[in-house]
Structure 1
Amino acid sequence: MTSQPPGAHLPDHPEFLWRNPEPKKAYDVVIIGGGGHGLATAHYLAKNHGITNVAVLEKGWLAGGNMARNTTIIRSNYLWDESAGIYEHSLKLWEGLEEDLGYPILFSQRGVLNLAHTLQDVRDSVRRVEANKLNGIDAQWVGPDEVKKLCPVVNTSSDIRYPVLGATYQPRAGIAKHDYVAWGFARRADEAGIDIIQNCAVTGFIRKDNKVVGVRTTRGDIAAGQVALCAAGHTSTLTDMLGFRTPLQSHPLQALVSELLEPVHPTVVMSNHVHVYVSQAHKGELVMGAGIDSYNGYGQRGAFHIIERQMAAAVELFPAFARAHLLRTWAGIVDVCPDASPIVGRTPYDNVYLDCGWGTGGFKATPGLGWCFADTIANDEPHPYIAPFSLDRFVTGALVDEHGAAAVAH
């Protein structure tokens, strides 16, 4: 962490943003994972429920996992009622988050276009728009001419391989500065007295009967009243330690940015068919993402052919980008469930709670998940917005199948 957002008026040294405490011997709640979800959960435990004897354990540096490695798209235009509920709740929190945190997060509601390239795309897209409207979510179907007005650099020619036949459009969607979001949540949690403990990897659990009474870490054993797992792609390594299985697969997910450019890309454009999504960050770089690498792994890098295909797709949709220079690439580790929806709620242990399986949708859910997960921990009862995403749905068959329903970045 070497920079701070403009206008924040904070000390020059990052250590002043939050304390760097030694872990105490015991906490009421131990949150494993110091990314967006773990930090948001800690913030709302304090703000909404007055629970402050909390530790957030991060094995590396704060928010250095998927929170630092995503493409920052925020939207709520999901097909199914269950998904629309949690993501719309989250979007409403995003709209007031800067005021809540007292910190600039650069939330820019520039809208998101999900392009349709085939007749089946059109049918699926119109279906999703109508489902969104029924759930009170701002959604529109727009034709090629309107796509061109909203984003003039999109190639809407009819003689290309995948012509643009139209798009769904959510005007309230947008992007935010991911690092600032994490720092804002961390500052507020720290101010409430919550301990954020970096460089503290979990190595095991201390169990008694059907509860976890402590966490073994590289910085000593810590007693815990309740334990929340917010470790994204590494969740399965923790559940293996606890002796129960989750239907998760971890994959690398790559993205890239270009050199800095003048403002040319006014909205966010996503295409499932040619498999790329593009926005322009506040500083000017083009941010591009694609699909996951097909192999399983915990490495924060992926295969080069994914980048090649991603750039080819981007150049087809945006010919003006052909001369832009690639600045850097990176990868996160996404945890994917069979129905492309998250797992949130109880586990086989009475006092252990699970938050995982968000795939590529974790960032946009950050405040909504934190709010609902904190409520679940405080009341030991799943919040209504996350109740449909329980682990036992893979036993009952009540899946929330979002495959292909929410475009390339789930």
Structure 2
Amino acid sequence: MRYSAFSLIRRGLTGSDWPRVWRAHPLAGSYDVVIIGGGVHGLATAYYLARNHGIRNVAVLDKGYLGGGGSGRNTAILRSNYLTPEGVRFYDRSLQLYRHLAADLNFNVMFSRRGHLTLAHNDSSLRTMRWRAEVNKLQGVDSDVIDPDEIKKLVPYLDTSPDTRYPVLGALYHPPGGIIRHDAVVWGYARAADALGVHLHQNTEVVGIETKGDRVLAVRTNRGRIATPVVVNCTAGWSTLISDMVGVGMPVTTSPLQAAVTEPVRLFLDTVIVSGTLHVYVSQTDRGELVFGASVDPFTSYSMRGSLEFAEGLAGHVLELMPALSKMRLLRQWAGLCDMTPDYSPIMGPTPVEGFYVDVGWGTYGFKAGPVSGEAMADCVAHERPGEIIASFGLDRFASGRLVGEKGAAAVGH
């Protein structure tokens, strides 16, 4: 729905009721497809099923509220400068979809192209950056290695002197990278899916999945039973719990990933900065806050509480990069859950249980892949086979040894 400028002002001044962005429906007894997980992956899958394939008798179930999991607990950084050809092609398609998402959904998702810098502090890291740059270029992705003088021009506040503990020797510069408003992406997909007839059910927890003869039969929830021939597992953090309901084991471990944000200040940081050696990344929002993050916590857990140890370590590493930030105040910190696979790549596609599909194992980089994952999973469900863009990410690769090793581009997360 579009509003005129006068209508927006009138509603803002009068406080009149705004229409709901998506509707609440009774839980139907059956659906053609049930998607578990109401984050960006689940909502995008539902949207593209309806828009691209005309499959509209779809339900998205979330045990909490839409976007309340990993989609609302990330730092909303976008990039496609990965290490493997499969990963680069995949994430670049997602970045292309993100660029046009506001127009496609008629919803301002606040995409901001900033450029993305991955710093190299030693010769080994610099060799990896050159490797990634060449892989990126072969896939048509804009990435190049730049020297400290060029880095200083992009980020004047970054300490690029040779006298620091971790001197900056160079960086992989990825101009298309940027940031986006993560909650707006969730709301945009939810509204668009709802307009196409998809049912969005919040506070609907899946407690079991019924199978018969290795085929999906129904989903049991805290609100009742749903008959369905197709279930798509789009949960982050809890993916193994859902897969265990049908007896499909996943080589996944779940670990917390913490982040933090500062008080808002004048805009001064135009690019996203990542340091794999220091295990830290930082960007600045349009409101002026600095958003910080690190690698996953070194233990498996379902806890989403922040820790003092994280805040202390993060602050120390950030100040090694930009000492001028020492006076800034940290306002809040949070954590999300990351499903880590052995090769740091996702698991996507069908499983040995007919009708049970997975879109899981996203580690620290699931939000970047939201649009392309939804598009690819919708195509996979509609045609009952994985498309070329996700063919390398199947569950069977762990048995065959055809791993897609992305640790060199994903270990820090952003």
| TM-score, length basis structure 2 | 0.95
Secondary structure at the aligned position of 1:127 is classed as helix
Residue pair 1:252, 1:302 contacting (<8 A) in 2 also: no
- C-alpha separation between the residues in 1 aligned to 2:17 and 2:408? 44
Q: What amino acid sits opposite 2:45 in the alignment?
A: T
Query: Would you say how many aligned residue pairs link Structure 1 and Structure 2?
Result: 405
Q: What amino acid sits opposite 2:26 in the alignment?
A: E
Give the one of 125, 131, 138 matched to 2:135.
131
Residue pair 2:34, 2:61 contacting (<8 A) in 1 also: yes
**1:338 and 2:342 equivalent?**
yes
Secondary structure at the aligned position of 1:231 is classed as coil
Listed as ranges, the gaps of 5+ residues in structure 1 are 1-5
- C-alpha separation between the residues in 2 aligned to 1:242 and 1:318? 49
Distance 1:8-1:310 versus aligned 2 partners, 3 A rule:
farther
Q: Shift of residue 14 of structure 1? A: 7.2
Q: Shift of residue 321 of structure 1? A: 1.1
**1:358 and 2:362 equivalent?**
yes
Give the one of 270, 295, 320 matched to 1:316.
320
- C-alpha separation between the residues in 1 aligned to 2:207 and 2:136? 43
Q: Shift of residue 244 of structure 1? A: 2.1
Give the one of 52, 57, 69 matched to 2:56.
52
Give the one of 384, 391, 397 matched to 2:401.
397
Q: Shift of residue 15 of structure 1? A: 6.5
Residue pair 1:259, 1:285 contacting (<8 A) in 2 also: yes
Q: What amino acid sits opposite 1:189 in the alignment?
A: A
Distance 1:48-1:150 versus aligned 2 partners, 3 A rule:
same
Q: Shift of residue 13 of structure 1? A: 5.7
In structure 2, what is the equivalent of residue 116 of structure 1?
A: 120
- C-alpha separation between the residues in 2 aligned to 1:133 and 1:15? 46
Q: Shift of residue 7 of structure 1? A: 11
**1:156 and 2:122 equivalent?**
no
- C-alpha separation between the residues in 2 aligned to 1:397 and 1:390? 11
- C-alpha separation between the residues in 2 aligned to 1:120 and 1:15? 55
In structure 1, what is the equivalent of residue 20 of structure 2?
A: 16
Question: Higher mean Cα deviation, 236-245 or 361-370?
Answer: 236-245
- C-alpha separation between the residues in 1 aligned to 2:376 and 2:100? 16
Give the one of 240, 247, 271 matched to 1:267.
271
Distance 1:225-1:15 versus aligned 2 partners, 3 A rule:
farther
Structure 1 vs Structure 2 CA RMSD: 1.6
- C-alpha separation between the residues in 2 aligned to 1:370 and 1:60? 20
- C-alpha separation between the residues in 2 aligned to 1:393 and 1:155? 43
Secondary structure at the aligned position of 1:26 is classed as coil
**1:305 and 2:320 equivalent?**
no
Give the one of 220, 224, 229 matched to 1:216.
220
Q: Shift of residue 85 of structure 1? A: 1.3
Question: Higher mean Cα deviation, 149-158 or 186-195?
Answer: 149-158
Q: What amino acid sits opposite 1:155 in the alignment?
A: D
Give the one of 180, 200, 203 matched to 1:199.
203
Deviations 1:305-343 (A, max 9, x none): 122111111111011211110010000000000111100
Question: Higher mean Cα deviation, 160-169 or 10-19?
Answer: 10-19
Residue pair 2:269, 2:283 contacting (<8 A) in 1 also: yes
| TM-score, length basis structure 1 | 0.96
- C-alpha separation between the residues in 1 aligned to 2:370 and 2:274? 21
Secondary structure at the aligned position of 1:105 is classed as coil
In structure 1, what is the equivalent of residue 284 of structure 2?
A: 280
Q: Shift of residue 250 of structure 1? A: 0.3
Residue pair 2:344, 2:410 contacting (<8 A) in 1 also: no
In structure 1, what is the equivalent of residue 101 of structure 2?
A: 97
- C-alpha separation between the residues in 1 aligned to 2:7 and 2:411? 35
**1:234 and 2:238 equivalent?**
yes
Q: What amino acid sits opposite 1:26 in the alignment?
A: S
- C-alpha separation between the residues in 2 aligned to 1:271 and 1:336? 20
In structure 2, what is the equivalent of residue 3 of structure 1?
A: none
In structure 2, what is the equivalent of residue 388 of structure 1?
A: 392
Secondary structure at the aligned position of 1:189 is classed as helix
Deviations 1:263-314 (A, max 9, x none): 0111100000011000001111100000111111112124331221111111
Q: Shift of residue 406 of structure 1? A: 4.0
| Percent of aligned pairs sharing the same letter | 49
Secondary structure at the aligned position of 1:373 is classed as helix
**1:183 and 2:181 equivalent?**
no
Residue pair 1:8, 1:103 contacting (<8 A) in 2 also: no
- C-alpha separation between the residues in 2 aligned to 1:343 and 1:15? 38
Q: What amino acid sits opposite 2:245 in the alignment?
A: M
Q: Shift of residue 232 of structure 1? A: 1.2
Residue pair 1:114, 1:407 contacting (<8 A) in 2 also: no
Distance 1:329-1:19 versus aligned 2 partners, 3 A rule:
same
Residue pair 1:256, 1:288 contacting (<8 A) in 2 also: yes
Distance 1:14-1:339 versus aligned 2 partners, 3 A rule:
farther
Listed as ranges, the gaps of 5+ residues in structure 2 are none
- C-alpha separation between the residues in 1 aligned to 2:405 and 2:173? 22
- C-alpha separation between the residues in 1 aligned to 2:215 and 2:326? 56
- C-alpha separation between the residues in 2 aligned to 1:59 and 1:130? 43
Q: Shift of residue 367 of structure 1? A: 0.5
In structure 1, what is the equivalent of residue 229 of structure 2?
A: 225
